[in-house]
Amino acid sequence: MTGKQREAKILDCTIRDGGLVNGWDFSAEFVSALYQALSRAGVDYMEIGYKNSPLLHHVPNAGPWAYLTEELIRTTIGEKTATKLSALVDIGRVDERDIAPRDESFLDLIRVACYIKDVDKGIELAGKFHDLGYETSLNIMAVSHARENDLNEALEQLNDSPVDIVYVVDSFGSLFGKDIEYLVAKFQKFAPNKTLGIHTHNNLQMAFANTLIGLDKGVAYLDSSVFGMGRAAGNCPTELLVGHLHSARYDVRSLLDIIEQQFIPLRERVEWGYTIPYAITGLLDEHPRTAMALRASADKDKYLEFYEKLTTVETHGAHL
């Protein structure tokens, strides 16, 4: 085990990112079983959902993990293990009155997701969580579309903020190893005080590989999800990370068991993972929303037509 592997933290975001696939329709038993499995596997964090306010961000028919309450977490988790809990919030969607101080909460880490143009607001919001005693991260989404200068400035701001962890987020699953190396070096240069994290998507089957490149270059927080369950093409699979980093700290067996028991039947009902439309949006460095809409339609396997639509100047120009 190298020093880098020793410092690595695995953050499983199955319930949160996977919830984007099934509308957070996980039973409390499922979430509890996952927490136990992740704990036995030695996974460092479990992200149990979003802590947005349903009043500020209403998702029709969303399950309870889209709007975490302390009550829900307590009744689901019961007794905490060494595996910490995290929640994600979006700026503008969180009611700060919903957030208890950390010593009254089951949550340890609150992660703030924002686009680069809102990094001021992101830092401000993360600062409030920091003041309540939480570990905090800021996850800069869609980094492949960020302007170089804007990103550098945002990182400098973050470097002087109370935010603990700054994430490289490959929202579109469009990045390759060289891109990860470049971004990590940039993040380290402009935010040297900060611990780094990485969150990948598997559109181009690069999620695990890119995560390992991040680790090799000094990223400490590695996002993953069990069986890769996450939006569209999904994430870096937790079982591969745990299996590969296998050491005194990690043990893959409980994950194999829960995949067999829970995720195989679940995958038969809802879809995530590598499919051609997600590969196409990844190759084109675009948000997967068009591909998600295609997969939900009767044309779900009309790949060539989809590609032509996205690459034809006329059609595309209409979005500019």
Candidates 43, 279, 291, 294: give the one binding a copy of itself (CB under 8 A). Answer: 279
Which residues in 204-223 contact a copy of itself (CB under 8 A)?
204-210, 212-213, 216
294 is a contact residue toward a copy of itself (CB under 8 A):
no
Residue of 83, 139, 202, 224 that binds a copy of itself (CB under 8 A): 202
Structure tokens given for 99: 């957030």
Does 237 contact a copy of itself by CB under 8 A?
Answer: yes
Q: Which stretch binds a copy of itself (CB under 8 A): 54-62, 80-88, 150-158, 295-303?
A: 295-303
Structure tokens at 182: 């470049």
By CB under 8 A, what part of segment 97-156 binds a copy of itself? none
* Tokens 């499983």 belong to residue: 12
Look at the chain and count its residues: 320
Q: What part of residues 246-265 is at the interface with a copy of itself (CB under 8 A)? A: 246, 252-253, 256-257, 259-260, 264
Of the candidate spans 132-140, 149-157, 186-194, 303-311, the one that interacts with a copy of itself by CB under 8 A turns out to be 303-311
Identify residues 160-189 at the interface with a copy of itself (CB under 8 A): 176-178
280 binds a copy of itself (CB under 8 A): yes
Q: How many amino acids of this chain bind a copy of itself (CB under 8 A)?
A: 39
100 touches 134 (CB < 8 A): no
- The smaller minimum CB distance to a copy of itself, of residues 128 and 244, is found at 244
**Binding residue (CB under 8 A) for a copy of itself from 63, 127, 218, 243:** 243
Biggest alpha carbon distance in the chain? 57
CB of 256 to a copy of itself, least distance (A): 4
Residue nearer to a copy of itself on the CB measure, 124 or 301: 301
Please report, as ranges, the residues that interact with a copy of itself according to CB under 8 A.
Answer: 176-178, 202, 204-210, 212-213, 216, 227, 237, 239-240, 243-244, 246, 252-253, 256-257, 259-260, 264, 274, 276, 279-280, 283, 301-304, 307-308
